């Protein structure tokens, strides 16, 4: 049986450091300067949303899985010797607070 590799961005954030609900956008390429373009940008790889009313010591954590996006970017392998250099060069992120 072949082992399946799963690549993803693991996100940890103390909610009190952000001060409310927020979204973490993951990009495989440059982050667009205009946030309104983030979701439709070709570099957009995924999003992790945190909805909270509190500002306590709660730590939000989650994943944005990247296998599908990596393979769509013409990377033909999910092996570490191919993916790690690609992610080191291309992985970026941005945070946007949710306005109430």
The mean of the pLDDT values for the chain is 89
Contacts of 74 (CB under 8 A, 6+ apart): none
Other Cβ atoms closer than 10 A to 46: 17
Task: Calculate the CA 52 to chain-centre distance.
Answer: 19
pLDDT class for 92, splitting at 50, 70, 90? Answer: very high
pLDDT class for 48, splitting at 50, 70, 90? Answer: very high
Q: Give residue 2's pLDDT.
A: 54
Do the Cβ atoms of 27 and 64 come closer than 8 Å? Answer: no
Average pLDDT estimate for 47-53: 88
pLDDT class for 34, splitting at 50, 70, 90? Answer: very high
Question: How far apart are alpha carbons 43 and 64 in whole angstroms?
Answer: 14
């Amino acid at each position: 049986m072949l082992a399946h590799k799963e690549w993803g961005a693991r996100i940890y954030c103390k909610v009190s450091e952000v001060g409310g609900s927020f979204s973490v956008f993951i990009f495989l390429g440059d982050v667009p300067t205009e946030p309104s373009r983030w979701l439709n940008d070709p570099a957009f790889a995924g999003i992790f949303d945190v909805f909270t009313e509190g500002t306590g010591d709660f730590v939000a954590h989650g994943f944005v899985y990247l296998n599908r996006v990596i393979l769509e970017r013409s990377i033909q392998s999910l092996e570490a010797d191919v993916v790690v250099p690609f992610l080191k060069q291309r992985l970026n992120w941005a945070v946007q607070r949710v306005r109430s």
